[in-house]
A and B are shown apart, each in its own frame.
Chain A
Amino acid sequence: MSITFKGGIHPPQNKVFTKDKPILALPAPEEIIIPLSQHIGAPSKPIVEKGDRVTMGQRLSESEGFVSVPVHSSVSGKVKDIKPWPHFSGESVLSVIIENDGKDTPCREMPAHEDWENLSPDQIRGISREAGLAGMGGAAFPTVVKLSPPPTKQIDTVILNGAECEPYLTADHRLMLEYPDEIIEGLRMIMKTLGVEKSFIGIEKNKPDAIKVFKNKTEKFDNISVIGIKVKYPQGAEKQLIDAITGRKVPAGGLPFDVGCLVQNVGTAKALYDAVVRGKPLYERVVTVTGKTLNNPQNLMVRIGTPVRHLIDACDGTKDPIGKIIMGGPMMGIALYADEVPIVKGTSGILVFSVTEADLPREKPCISCARCVDVCPMKLLPNRIATLIENERFQETEEYGIFDCMECGSCTYVCPTKRRLLHYIKWGKDEIIKRRNKEK
């Protein structure tokens, strides 16, 4: 029996463009833009001023609040300005703009701990905050928050997420092939921090080479099992991954720690290793730059803050005029409104579409085929929710579990009448939250 969840879809994988291409380091551009907000939670507060000299890895901001981590400079140079700049969220966000001096002078602010086994859990947590670690699978949730579960929740299982179920993307795949030891050490750090004895590394079966590498490398650890999971989208979604591997179901509206689990992306584990052992804050990451129209798709090690345009140029541009630039994968990625938007901690891919690929199909009325119902991994009724929202009956959608939707987009993908189901669902969520806030 294959290890998976109920529902889901099988979109064309399109990973072939980049899956065999080793990670190349992309030289930093002349100008780097570091947004002070890179994830959900409070934006951080700048601690540098215009004209300041900064070194590579220097902290640029102070986190405010628990769900917030600082950002770091990814080059050495001079702070040119601190001003709003186009951001993936669709708005301009206050960003530190740094003129690169091309020297990459390292900062050395953070100590390196070769002997990390002697560190206490709190020290590791501190390092993860200091290094600005955030989930590298996409949502960029601050790692320190995940590593500090409330004392009432007992975590007994850590799952490392190497599913990479989004079509096109191969960043995690390459990372697993090229940095397996760092990833495994990072996982062991997470286990130590949480005092957990059992862990799994879940990898989709379309990456047999990665599964093999990890099976060999983890042989000496009794408490780490490598699991090959079925190739199906959204296999890498937290709740679905936990279900597939442990059989535990995260309660509706709950979080993984409600069933004693913690899920981290393989990239985050590697970043934790770099931060602890090498004293390196999170200022660069692997990004898959891909698309059928790109001349030379690649997996690039990119400095955070590099404008997207720079990545596309590094792939020798496109065959056809660009119609759409997507940050992330084709299923959950965000369409960018400008190509000067910078790469952030959660950017796993840049997907470029030609004008034809970016065409939106015309929407027709629902024919109740229930394909969306059959594929929804959360067992919702997307057709019903969308129809209620079209008729602006927002309140009723809560009964239908609108907030349990994780926005995987499977419903929209399979719809034969091309309804923008997820569009309606997102609108509905926004509207309900707006109305709630008004009531307060």
Chain B
Amino acid sequence: MPTNKLAVAVSPHIREDVSIRKIMYSVLIALVPALIGSVFFFGPRALWLSLIGVASAVATEAGIQAIRKVPIEVSDGSAALTGLLVAFNLPPGVPLWMPIIGSFVGIALGKQVFGGLGRNILNPALVGRAFLMASWPVEMTTRWIVPKYGTLSGIDAVTSATPLGVFKSMNTILADPAASLIEIQKANTILGKLFDSWGNLFLGNVGGCLGETSALLLLIGGIFLLWKGYADWRIPVGYLVGLGVLSWAFWGRNGLFTGHPLFHLLSGGVILGAFFMATDMVTSPVTPRGRWIFGLGCGIFTFIIRKWGGYPEGVSYSILLMNIVTPLIDRYTKPKIFGEKKNKDKEQKER
């Protein structure tokens, strides 16, 4: 090669040391505290499920990339992340083959059919979870494991269900006109205890999906991601504000503004969803205003599903719903260009 051959390229001539790999591995690292927590609460089984989920996702991605005859890029960590999130969304007592199916569907139907990373519309991990939910609803809603030092519900009065499960059934009793006075009193007492148990919810010493129970450990990872700039703060904040305000305002037993937002924010998969799944770059809006709308929308849908829907939990479906409208949100939230005047939009429309 001649030494005087000069490279000619359009500026800029330097690039930041950032890559898909760096971002994905940072997210994986951010999930490690919650993974350690889940092994602590639910035993080594949590680790096996996670590893199987990751392995299945990576194998599926590599296999499909080989079939598609495109470069095999599983080392970028994006498939591994999907696999881990699929596992995090499973009850810890499910059979070991479930994360295999979940990750396969997530990667194959949630991501590769669209053309791979960056082209998918829906969060692949949530596609996997939705598929499992529809196919094996019993396993997905009953195979809970009692945490090592606590109870499934986080309170002593009931031990048969997760906090959100208890909450749902108590509310059903309260809404039932045929319920007896004793039943109503008992339900109210249990709900009261549930709302007071937020310390357990915060630490994660309750039943639930593998990776979702400890708000504290998830927040450590989530704040790390926000600090690195690999997740946008508007989405989790919008999500928590949306769900918190609605449940506080409209979900109290004594009228407006008597609800228990802390219970709703800390129970179920809200923290995991808000910080790690709603913030998925590919499937969330790019505009700053769009991210607010996206986060708030997730919160609103979670509230609607939890309050009126058939499921006790609504995090995954609300994120999937907002994924679908992401292109639309982007289209209608185009930022105002530097120095752009309001009437410029009108001018352009007239043209």
**If the complex has contacts A335-B9, A412-B15, are A250 and B335 also in contact, measured as CB distance less than 8 A?**
no
Stretch at the interface among B148-156, B217-225, B337-345: B337-345
B276-303 vs A, CB cutoff 8 Å, 1 = contact: the mask equals 0000011111111000000000000000
B277 to chain A, nearest CB (A): 15
Most buried by A among B12, B14, B287: B12
Chain A residue nearest to B17 (CB atoms) is A12
Please state if B281 and A369 are interface contacts (CB–CB under 8 Å).
Answer: yes
Please state if A422 and B11 are interface contacts (CB–CB under 8 Å).
Answer: yes
Please state if A417 and B339 are interface contacts (CB–CB under 8 Å).
Answer: no
CB contact between A336 and one of B6, B16, B348 (< 8 Å): that residue: B6
B residues in contact with A90, CB < 8 Å: 8
Interface size class of A (residues with CB under 8 A): 35 or more
Please state if A366 and B118 are interface contacts (CB–CB under 8 Å).
Answer: yes
CB contact between A373 and one of B23, B286, B336 (< 8 Å): that residue: B286
Q: What CA separation (Å) do A334 and B13 show in the bound complex?
A: 9
Chain B residue nearest to A380 (CB atoms) is B337
Q: Does A414 contact B (CB under 8 A)?
A: yes
Q: What CA separation (Å) do A335 and B9 show in the bound complex?
A: 6
B residues in contact with A323, CB < 8 Å: 6-7
8 Å CB interface, A230-285 against B: 239, 243, 249-252, 254
How many chain B residues have a CB neighbour from A under 8 Å?
A: 44
CB contact between A252 and one of B10, B117, B330, B340 (< 8 Å): that residue: B340
Please state if B13 and A353 are interface contacts (CB–CB under 8 Å).
Answer: yes
8 Å CB interface, B93-150 against A: 115-119
B residues in contact with A330, CB < 8 Å: 11-14
B311 to chain A, nearest CB (A): 29
Q: Does A338 contact B (CB under 8 A)?
A: yes
**If the complex has contacts A324-B7, A416-B19, A416-B22, are A331 and B12 also in contact, measured as CB distance less than 8 A?**
yes
CB contact between A422 and one of B6, B10, B286 (< 8 Å): that residue: B10
Please state if B11 and A337 are interface contacts (CB–CB under 8 Å).
Answer: no
CB contact between B341 and one of A252, A366, A371 (< 8 Å): that residue: A252
A435 to chain B, nearest CB (A): 16
Q: What CA separation (Å) do A326 and B9 show in the bound complex?
A: 10
Please state if A365 and B8 are interface contacts (CB–CB under 8 Å).
Answer: no
Q: Does B254 contact A (CB under 8 A)?
A: no
**If the complex has contacts A368-B286, A381-B286, are A401 and B7 also in contact, measured as CB distance less than 8 A?**
no
Q: Does A167 contact B (CB under 8 A)?
A: yes
Please state if B338 and A252 are interface contacts (CB–CB under 8 Å).
Answer: yes
B residues in contact with A325, CB < 8 Å: 6
B residues in contact with A337, CB < 8 Å: 6, 8
A residues in contact with B287, CB < 8 Å: 370, 373, 381
A398 to chain B, nearest CB (A): 8
Please state if B338 and A377 are interface contacts (CB–CB under 8 Å).
Answer: yes
CB contact between B14 and one of A239, A331, A367, A384 (< 8 Å): that residue: A331
Please state if A409 and B340 are interface contacts (CB–CB under 8 Å).
Answer: no
A residues in contact with B68, CB < 8 Å: none
Q: Does A333 contact B (CB under 8 A)?
A: yes
8 Å CB interface, A345-403 against B: 351, 353, 355, 358, 360-361, 364-371, 373-374, 377-381, 383-384, 399-401
B170 to chain A, nearest CB (A): 41
Q: How many A-B residue pairs have CB under 8 A?
A: 165
CB contact between A367 and one of B13, B229, B282, B340 (< 8 Å): that residue: B282
Q: Does A420 contact B (CB under 8 A)?
A: yes
Q: Does A192 contact B (CB under 8 A)?
A: no
Q: Does A93 contact B (CB under 8 A)?
A: no
Q: What CA separation (Å) do A378 and B15 show in the bound complex?
A: 20
B residues in contact with A360, CB < 8 Å: 7, 9
Q: Does A46 contact B (CB under 8 A)?
A: no
Q: What CA separation (Å) do A366 and B118 show in the bound complex?
A: 6
CB contact between B344 and one of A12, A252, A426 (< 8 Å): that residue: A252
Q: Does A404 contact B (CB under 8 A)?
A: yes
Please state if B14 and A167 are interface contacts (CB–CB under 8 Å).
Answer: yes
Please state if A379 and B338 are interface contacts (CB–CB under 8 Å).
Answer: yes
Q: Does A321 contact B (CB under 8 A)?
A: yes
Please state if A422 and B116 are interface contacts (CB–CB under 8 Å).
Answer: no
Q: Does A153 contact B (CB under 8 A)?
A: no
A residues in contact with B283, CB < 8 Å: 368
A-B contact pairs, 28 of them (CB 8 A): A11-B16, A243-B338, A252-B340, A254-B339, A322-B6, A331-B13, A331-B14, A335-B8, A335-B13, A336-B6, A360-B9, A361-B15, A364-B20, A365-B119, A367-B117, A367-B282, A370-B287, A379-B336, A380-B335, A384-B286, A401-B337, A401-B340, A412-B11, A413-B12, A414-B18, A415-B15, A417-B118, A422-B12
| Chain B residues engaging chain A, CB cutoff 8 angstroms | 3-4, 6-16, 18-20, 22-23, 115-119, 229, 232, 281-288, 330, 334-341, 344, 348
In the complex, given contacts A380-B337, A416-B18, what are 4 additional A-B residue pairs having Cβ atoms less than 8 angstroms apart? A367-B20, A368-B282, A379-B338, A381-B334
| Chain A residues engaging chain B, CB cutoff 8 angstroms | 9, 11-12, 90, 167, 239, 243, 249-252, 254, 321-326, 328, 330-339, 351, 353, 355, 358, 360-361, 364-371, 373-374, 377-381, 383-384, 399-401, 404, 407, 409-410, 412-418, 420, 422-423, 426
